[in-house]
Amino acid sequence: MRWTRLRRDETGTVAIEFALVGPILIVLLVGIVCYGGYFWLAHAVQQVANDSARAAIAGLDDAERGSLAQSSLASGMADYPYLKVSNAAVTVARKDQQLSINVVYDASSSPFWGMSGLVPMPPAKIERRAVVRLGGY
């Protein structure tokens, strides 16, 4: 009689189910936030590279194009709350009539990499490139 009553008793089953499923759900939510932050950072770095390339077109020589790209990078990153200019490096390269702007951003100090031990994250160095054509049509 005691065992049949104990088997039919359902009090506490929700707590046990949550103890089994809860940690998986929490890790899944942390992964969504971390990867969402990574994709946002990668998109923001690409946008800053695009803006730097557009600004560099106006330069008359390679030195001026480099300084225009650097200043555009600094002002563009100020618009994004989690991007720091000190973590970014921009290089300007010219090949024939193409100008290539390469932006490398170290996102390891970003809050999205705080749970990198819990969730497997992509590399912390985000590298994006924008290429524009110099000259007329």
d(CA 91, CA 74): 13
Q: Give a yes or no: residue 5 inside a domain.
A: no
Of 72, 68, 82, 29, which Cα lies nearest the Cα of 49? 72
pLDDT at 117 exceeding the cut of 90: no
Residue 93 lies in a domain: yes
Overall domain count for the chain: 1
Residue span of the structural domain in which 45 resides: 12-133
Is residue 7 included in any domain, yes or no? no
Looking up tokens 């990668």 gives 42
The more confidently predicted of residues 116 and 48 is 48
Q: Environment class of residue 129 by beta-carbon count within 10 Å: exposed (0-12), middle (13-18) or buried (19+)?
A: middle
The whole-number pLDDT of residue 115 equals 81
| Cα dihedral value 38, 44, 45, 47, nearest 10 | 150
Q: What is the pLDDT of residue 1?
A: 53
- The answer to the question of residue 86 being in a domain is yes
**pLDDT for 51-97, tens place per residue?**
999 999 988 888 999 999 999 999 999 999 889 999 999 999 999 88
In a domain, 83, yes or no: yes
The whole-model pTM stands at: 0.82
